[in-house]
Structures are given as C-alpha cells and as structure tokens.
Amino acid sequence: MKNRLSTIVVAFNTHDLTVKHVQECMNSSYMPDEIIVVNDGGTTDLREKLLELDIKTRLVYVRVEEDILWNYNGAYNLGFWCSRGDILALEDSDHIPCKDAYTNALKLFENEKLGRVAFGRIVVELKDVLENSSDKWVHGHHIGGHENSTMLRREVFMNMKGNDEMMCGRYGWIGYDWAKRRDRSLNQLGLDTVKTGSYFMVQGGACPNMERPMSKENYQVFHRNSAFNRVQHEEKGILNFTFTNEVLTNESKKMETIDPKKFYTKEYYDRVELFSKRAGRLKSIIGRMNIPKSSKVLDVGCGHGFLVNRLRRNKIDAIGTDPSEFAGKFIPEYFTRADSKKLPFKDKEFDVVISTDVFEHIPEEDIDEVYAEMQRVGKRVMAIICPKRGTEESHITIKSMEEWSRRLKGVEILN
C-alpha cells in the first residue's frame, strides 16, 4: 500500500522563502500528497503570496492567531493535527528538500521496520534561492542534519503525543526535548532510523530579528524533567492557542478579484437578507451599541436596511448608505446610495457610525480610506467584523480580531 506524504512547513515572517520552499516541494521528483504551511503568528500576507503559485497538490494554510515567541513546537503540533499522511516531512522554512529527497526516503519507508529518515544538509545562500531555480543554486559546504527537519512515520509522532508546548517561547527547547522523546518513541515501537540524501539549508533564511533567550534555563528545566523519564505536560494539553485553517486552491484566487458589479447582485442581497434580518441578532447588536435615543446614527454598508429599520423603531434617528443599487430595500426614505470611500456627509454629522459585516468585504488597499471616512463623519465609530472566510467568497480581507483591532484603532469592535 502506498504511503501518503504530508509535508509540514513551519514559518514566521519569511514569506518569500516559504513560498519558494512550497514551490520546490511541488517540483520534487515525488510531489507530496499535501503540503501544510503553518504561519506561526506572522503577518497575514503569506496567504496571498501562496495564492500566486500554481497549486499542484493539496495545500493547507494554517495560521496561529497569537504571537507566541518561539512557538515552533506548538506549530508542528498544529501542522500534524491538520495532516492526514502516513509519512510526515517536518521542515523549517529555511530547510528545503533536494529534488529526490522525498523519492529516496519513501522507497526506504517501504521497509515497515523503518520509522525515521534523517538527512544531511547542503548550505545555499538566500539570495541565490530567491532569484534562481534549484538546479542553478551554488552548493556550499555540507553540514550535519537538523533535528527539526526529518521524515518519520505518523505513529512515531502519535506515540510521542506531539511536541511539548510547556516551554513555548524559549529558544531551543524543541532541540533539547524533541530528539530524546522521538528516539524513545522509535525504540518503544521497535522502529529504526536511516540517514540518506540531503536538504538545502538556506544561509540567511532564519527568522529575522528574533531574540533567542534563556538557553541555559532551558537546559536546567530539561534535566529536571528528565528525572521523571518523561516531559511533564501542562494539564491544558496541546494546541493552547487560537488558529484558522483553510485549503488553498487555484480557485481560491478568484475570491481576490471579485467584480462588485457582477457579484453584489439582487440575488446576493436577497441571500444575505436571510441572515441580516434575524430579530435576535439585530436586538443583540443594538444592545451592544448601548447608545441613547437622542443619537444620530449612520449605518455604512447597510444592505437592505434591517439595522436602520430596527433602530428607527427604537426611536433612534438612523439612516443607511451602501454603494449597491440593490440596497436599501426596506428603508427607501432613509437610504443614500454612496461609495463608502466618499461619504456625502459633513464632518462629525453623526453621533455614531456603524458597519456590520462590512470590512471583510473591502479590498485590503481600500480599508484605511473607508475607515478614515467613517471617522470623519462620526463622533464614534463601531463595527462588527467576521474574521473568517468560511464558504463566503465575498470575504476578501481576512484578519484575526487582534489584527483588526490594531488596524482600526479607535473603532469600538462589538463582536
């Protein structure tokens, strides 16, 4: 039976190199059955860069939503959790497999007694990697293997119960802890290790400007744990952070280039009406707004106008605006069709300007302009934002709530 290969690439703000890494994986003599890229708390533009590739295999994009210093032990756990392969290739973004590395290793894994394949490393320069195809990279000296870049059977990782996340945030912990626990797992399962072939180690490709603290303390903690003959895990277990994940395909690119005139049709507004008009949701939004009845309110991106209608029923002076000709269905007297980047209102004309489920529909390059206009016409600005794409193609700007809060400083986010 053929072994399925899952390649897990962990990266933090080395996006161009990570994209090159994924491209080289897809160009290998054996293309992985899936590639899982774990963005370990880095900026969100890695997703867009990956979508520029011609995606030839299952490509899973996972992002840790929290900025946890040196969380790569947790990131590998997350990559494993999202994987489905029989054989795992664990790779830092600056360790790229040679063209035949997967092919040669998978032949060895036909031996059921083999649990792990280790590799040597060939040094190459970052500039060379980014500018040229791998057949033109200038090979430097050969060095020994790296504990974090290896291929092993799924059951080995399962038997280890993953990496220990107790020491996330302390540089080098995975190096001290991983090898000992991995080798113990191999021995328990009666499996062997073989060394073959090489990976490219990209000189200058490591995480930039990252502190590497407390290695001495790490050693001390490691030895204390070793006295128990196993690493002591926290009661909370693993994956103690929030994350998002999605499968990227060439079809995903269509989501980035939506033509509003073709997409935001009458059928679209009728469809979202089913969600927007729910009385319980409208009541919840108004409760969170917590504004006096004397307030003057503008709803930007109001759709059919359900929130405006409910606010007016509550004796609040509210109007809505939306760029679509199909919007304002239920508030024709209190609706102004307008571009949200050029609102036709006076400075500070409204006590409150609110948008519900709007910012995720706005192209990245327009967000600051829309935000500035809302601030210009409103004394207070409020928003409800969906941080996930899900199956909604019109959600073209995806950020975590932490990122939205940083981007829209001064906005009262009511999620």
Taking only the tens place, the pLDDT of each residue in 162-210 is: 665 555 555 555 555 677 788 888 999 999 999 988 899 999 866 655 5
Greatest mean pLDDT among 159-163, 252-256, 388-392 lies in 159-163
Residues 391-403 have pLDDT tens digits of 456 777 777 788 8
Which residues, other chains included, contact 61 with Cβ-Cβ below 8 Å and sequence gap of 6+? 37, 39, 46, 47, 50, 245, 246, 247, 248
5-250 shares its CATH topology with 258-413: no
Mean pLDDT of 342-350: 95
pLDDT of residue 2: 83
Give me the phi and psi of 377, to 5 degrees please. -90, -10
pLDDT of residue 214: 43
Which is more confidently placed, 132 or 78?
132
State how far the Cα of 306 lies from the Cα of 297, in Å rounded to an integer. 14
pLDDT of residue 255: 47
Hey, what are 111's tokens?
Answer: 């031996």
Pairing of strands 192-203, 95-97: antiparallel
**Which CATH fold would you assign to the domain 5-250?**
Spore Coat Polysaccharide Biosynthesis Protein SpsA; Chain A (3.90.550)
Q: Where are the domains of the chain?
A: 5-250, 258-413
CB 33 within 8 A of CB 5: yes
Hey, what are 33's tokens?
Answer: 């059955």
Among 90-104, 120-134, 173-187, 292-306, the range scoring the smallest mean pLDDT is 173-187
Give CA angle at 19 (89, 361), nearest 5°: 115
pLDDT of residue 393: 63
Q: How confident is the model at residue 235 (pLDDT cuts 50, 70, 90)?
A: very low
Among 39-43, 197-201, 350-354, 379-383, the range scoring the smallest mean pLDDT is 39-43
CB 142 within 8 A of CB 198: yes
Give me the phi and psi of 267, to 5 degrees please. -65, -35
pLDDT of residue 147: 76
Could you tell me which of 347, 280, 292 has the C-alpha nearest to residue 318?
292
The architecture CATH gives domain 258-413: 3-Layer(aba) Sandwich (3.40)
CA–chain centroid gap for 150, Å, is 23
Q: How confident is the model at residue 228 (pLDDT cuts 50, 70, 90)?
A: very low
- Indicate the pTM of the whole model: 0.59
Q: How confident is the model at residue 215 (pLDDT cuts 50, 70, 90)?
A: very low
Task: Tell me the pLDDT of the chain averaged across its residues.
Answer: 82
Hey, what are 386's tokens?
Answer: 């969906």
State how far the Cα of 166 lies from the Cα of 163, in Å rounded to an integer. 9
State how far the Cα of 230 lies from the Cα of 215, in Å rounded to an integer. 20
**Identity of the residue numbered 348:** K
Mean pLDDT of 369-392: 83
pLDDT of residue 69: 59
- H or E segment and range at residue 273: helix 266-276
Q: Is the pLDDT of residue 408 over 50?
A: yes
Q: Is the pLDDT of residue 267 over 60?
A: yes
